[in-house]
Amino acid sequence: MKIATIVIQSAVRVLGLVLIVLGFLFWSGRSLALVPVHMRIGEVLVGLLWILAGMGLRAGVSPGLAIGAIFYGFFVVAFGMNKEGFLPGRAHEVIRVAHFLIGLGAIGLVEMIAAKIKRGVAK
């Protein structure tokens, strides 16, 4: 299970970096044709979060953390898919920052769960 955890954690790190770079490109008004790619990669990252949360449940990670990560994944997808409708105009910058921070939160949850699995921490 530790090897699978390392593979998932590494994949999330790479995907997270790609998502951040793409996000900043979009923020600067460039490469907007790649928005669907950004969305699919984000969905893959959330899928990996869910897989790791399930592995965490089996490995004895706190059920609150693992189940919270699963619900957080649903929130990430829902927010990302609907963010364009929030706060139109200049106020939309607040939503962009929130989107960035929510994505970082998903990456952080992967890191937390992976660390607990790799340490063999039960509860």
pLDDT along the chain (123 residues), means of 10: 95 98 94 95 98 96 97 97 86 92 98 95 52
From the list 116, 6, 5, the residue with the least C-alpha distance to 61 is 116
pLDDT given at position 23: 95
pLDDT given at position 121: 63
pLDDT given at position 20: 97
| pTM greater than the 0.95 cutoff | no
pLDDT given at position 15: 98
Asked if 45 and 19 count as a contact pair (C-beta separation under 8 A), the reply is yes
Calculate the alpha carbon distances from 49 to 67, 68, 99 in Å: 11, 11, 17
From the list 42, 62, 64, 68, the residue with the least C-alpha distance to 115 is 62
